[in-house]
A and B are shown apart, each in its own frame.
Chain A
Amino acid sequence: MDKTLMLSLYRDMIRIRRFEEEAARSYSRGKIGGFLHLYNGQEAVAVGAMSAVEPTDYIVATYRDHGHYLARVGDMNAAMAELFGKADGCAKGRGGSMHYFDVAKRFMGGHAIVGGHVPIAAGIAFASKYRGEPDVTLCFFGEGTANMGAFHEGLSLAALWKLPVIFICENNLYSMGTPLYRTLSVEDVAVRAKGYPMAQEIVNGDDVLEVREVIRHAAKRARTESLPILIEAKTYRFRGHSMSDPAKYRTKEEVKEWMERDPIRLLAERIYALGIANEEQLKAVDEAAKQEVAGAVRFADESPSPDTATLFDDIYYEPEHHEQDEKVVPLEKRRQQASV
């Protein structure tokens, strides 16, 4: 077992967990507005997947995107500042929790219309193939998404055109308050792939190493043979759908059972068993993550709110506009210009 790898997976997962815990606290304190969908419990999927691909491979995520962003981009300051609606956020405070972006790092967004991003991911893969570039696209979504037309159209085109895209369904058993057996006509989302047809695979989404292995193979196949795949990761979200959901529709026993399979704990136990690190050493990693989160909160607190003079920026790409000094144009004037 690769020691450095195991530790880096652990670090990436604990960073997400601590970040999400702080996001929940800051939300309760009123520092974060809107919808806030947390990733606690699903960390192994994003971290396993990102660790298995190249930094040049494209990532397309949903509104539950903090984990994916941190696993790919890593910038906690920009992530926290975005939640706080600040100018230094990863989308300049325009997107919020559901719309993280870092195009330079090929993190192509958190998207908040269920299923709407699936064809987009196919399109990014289409572009890679069109240009003869080796990049693969990873598209994440929940099991509830498998009922959307956009999901089917995206997968059917990816199969038809043999696009290098990996569809990763994070099956956390619920779409909002609805258990999947009441919304899904199949037991496993993965079987849907058969009809396009497309390769499929089911993985234990709580096992970061298993996720990593499966994605690694899928990425290699996508890169060398230009073929799509649907991977279903069975997992569980520890918290409600969003901060406004107390998740009363789940029994305590069910939640407890899943919490015992906490992906971070599973990895820690493996690390101990293999003698890669002891409890104290992992604690230090955890402590560093907490410090980093605290720093991110300070950063986000101190970051300025977006200047209201920028309200109308970036509705369109405007070459002339980018040349002028934006701050000198008063908001009223921009308002008039923008409405023409």
Chain B
Amino acid sequence: MRELTYREALREAMAEEMERDERVFLMGEEVGHYNGAYKVSEGLLDRFGERRVVDTPIAETGFAGVGIGAAMVGLRPIIEFMTWNFSLCAYDQLVNNAAKLRYMSGGQITLPIVFRGPGGAAHQLAAQHSQAVESLYAYVPGLKVIAPSTPADAKGLLKTAIRDENPVIFIEGEVLYGHKGPVQDEEYQIPLGRGEVKRTGQDVTIVAWSKMVHAALDAATELAKEGIELEVIDPRTLRPLDDRMIFDSVKKTNRCIIVEEGWPFAGLGAEIAYRIMKEGFDYLDAPVVRVTGEDVPMPYAKNLEHEVFPGVEKVVRAVRDVLYS
């Protein structure tokens, strides 16, 4: 099988869908002539032209709203946010318009639109450029939220998102763009709402998505040396959530840790922990534990930033906690 970077996989998904369906277009800051702030859309302008690859001014509310209006009447926009931090300028458009138009109109409006771009912290970008926003969006009925961890998932899920008839929040890992992985040659899609077991094990279930999957896998490699086997579940789609897969794993391991980059207070991990408690209470041999980013705006200094991030060490420590070892 071929190896592609996460970035290339995303690009391939968009190119294939644009090729297949004329209603699909890409719009955002720097997506065209500059070839993408993170080069995800590199070459797409040359291939599809200015009608389908639309550079915008810095106007998140404006172009998110334009995308929503276009989707209301049958186009299938892909709206790129340079990063998800800036989507907060358009939060009103996403939460009050994209998520609600169908319901509020009694089902008259269908809104096939994808909002995508990089999320999460990179390196030393400080508070306004380093945040995981998935909880902010997963909170909202009417939105679907996806956060893929591998090139193969990124491609298959983005293709499905583009074909979905609902507004989809597609959060890419900013630090994953260069990450390489196998991607099959033949065309494929991955259904939304289905997780994947990224590693099987019987001792502790780890639920993680996006770049935290990699921290979980690294922790698993390390702990395997001591004979501790982690089962790593990547829900991939955060809403709708594949909690069945999580419950099944917890029934086997009886222990669960949720690893997420975002803040702990009212974060997604809290919801997942609640569901496990409610559905699998009798199966638990230890309380469900969360490993999250620290409850603080991201500092700039390298050492402080390192403290905030929920890395491998913290995952390993949490595993020892739930194993009472």
**Does B107 lie at the interface of the complex (its beta carbon under 8 Å from any beta carbon of A)?**
yes
**Cα distance A120–B105 in the bound complex, in angstroms:** 15
Contact A91 B108 (CB under 8 A): yes
**Cα distance A91–B166 in the bound complex, in angstroms:** 19
Partner of B57, one of A102, A149, A157, A315: A157
- Which chain B positions have C-beta within 8 A of A316? 102, 142, 144, 166
Question: A34-86: which have CB < 8 Å to B?
Answer: 58, 60
Contact A123 B57 (CB under 8 A): no
Question: A97-119: which have CB < 8 Å to B?
Answer: 99, 101-104, 108-109, 111, 113, 116-119
Contact A340 B240 (CB under 8 A): yes
Contact A113 B92 (CB under 8 A): yes
- Which chain B positions have C-beta within 8 A of A150? 61-62, 65, 92-93
**Cα distance A182–B93 in the bound complex, in angstroms:** 28
Q: Mark B137-177, 1 if CB is under 8 A from A, else 0.
A: 00001101000000000000000000001100000000000
Contact A101 B69 (CB under 8 A): no
Query: Among A124-132, A232-240, A296-304, which stretch is in contact with chain B?
Result: A124-132
Partner of A101, one of B25, B59, B96, B104: B104
Instruction: Name the residue among A104, A154, A156 with the largest chain B CB count within 10 angstroms.
Output: A154
Contact A116-B105, Cβ < 8 Å, known A123-B66, A127-B69, A153-B65: no
**Cα distance A149–B92 in the bound complex, in angstroms:** 11
Interface size class for chain A? 35 or more
A332 to chain B, nearest CB (A): 15
Contact A154-B166, Cβ < 8 Å, known A123-B70, A316-B142, A316-B144: no
Chain B residue with Cβ nearest A123: B69
Contact B93 A130 (CB under 8 A): no
**Does A142 lie at the interface of the complex (its beta carbon under 8 Å from any beta carbon of B)?**
no
A39 to chain B, nearest CB (A): 20
**Does B183 lie at the interface of the complex (its beta carbon under 8 Å from any beta carbon of A)?**
no
Contact A99-B105, Cβ < 8 Å, known A122-B62, A153-B65: yes
- Which chain B positions have C-beta within 8 A of A109? 101, 104-105, 109
Contact A101 B66 (CB under 8 A): no
**Cα distance A64–B74 in the bound complex, in angstroms:** 26
- Which chain A positions have C-beta within 8 A of B197? none
Contact A317-B65, Cβ < 8 Å, known A109-B105, A120-B97, A340-B240: no
Contact A92 B107 (CB under 8 A): yes
- Which chain B positions have C-beta within 8 A of A315? 102-103, 141-142
Contact A157-B66, Cβ < 8 Å, known A127-B75, A340-B243: yes
A329 to chain B, nearest CB (A): 16
**Does B289 lie at the interface of the complex (its beta carbon under 8 Å from any beta carbon of A)?**
no
**Does B225 lie at the interface of the complex (its beta carbon under 8 Å from any beta carbon of A)?**
no
Partner of A130, one of B75, B144, B165: B75
Contact B62 A157 (CB under 8 A): yes
Chain B residue with Cβ nearest A153: B62
- Which chain B positions have C-beta within 8 A of A116? 65, 92-93, 96-97
A25 to chain B, nearest CB (A): 25
Number of interface residues of B (CB under 8 A): 43
Contact B56 A157 (CB under 8 A): yes
**Cα distance A314–B111 in the bound complex, in angstroms:** 11
Contact A130 B106 (CB under 8 A): no
- Which chain A positions have C-beta within 8 A of B166? 316-317
- Which chain B positions have C-beta within 8 A of A154? 62, 65-66
Contact A124 B72 (CB under 8 A): yes
Chain B residue with Cβ nearest A125: B69
**Cα distance A172–B108 in the bound complex, in angstroms:** 31
**Does A221 lie at the interface of the complex (its beta carbon under 8 Å from any beta carbon of B)?**
no
Question: B167-195: which have CB < 8 Å to A?
Answer: none
Contact B69 A126 (CB under 8 A): yes
Chain A residue with Cβ nearest B164: A317
Instruction: Name the residue among B101, B142, B166 with the largest chain A CB count within 10 angstroms.
Output: B101
- Which chain B positions have C-beta within 8 A of A168? none
- Which chain B positions have C-beta within 8 A of A313? 107
Contact B104 A91 (CB under 8 A): yes
**Does B212 lie at the interface of the complex (its beta carbon under 8 Å from any beta carbon of A)?**
no
- Which chain B positions have C-beta within 8 A of A266? none
Contact B102 A130 (CB under 8 A): no
Contact A156-B92, Cβ < 8 Å, known A123-B66, A127-B74: no
**Cα distance A124–B73 in the bound complex, in angstroms:** 7
B64 to chain A, nearest CB (A): 7
A122 to chain B, nearest CB (A): 5
Q: Can you report 11 A-B residue pairs in the complex whose CB atoms are below 8 A from each other?
A: A91-B108, A119-B63, A123-B69, A123-B72, A126-B69, A128-B73, A157-B57, A157-B59, A157-B62, A319-B165, A340-B240
Which residue numbers of B lie inside 8 Å of A, CB to CB?
Answer: 25, 51, 56-57, 59, 61-75, 92-93, 96-97, 101-111, 141-142, 144, 165-166, 240-241, 243
Which residue numbers of A lie inside 8 Å of B, CB to CB?
Answer: 58, 60, 89-95, 99, 101-104, 108-109, 111, 113, 116-128, 130-131, 149-150, 153-154, 156-157, 160, 313-317, 319, 338, 340
Additional pairs, 5, CB under 8 Å, beyond known A123-B72, A131-B75, A315-B102: A119-B93, A124-B70, A150-B93, A157-B63, A340-B243
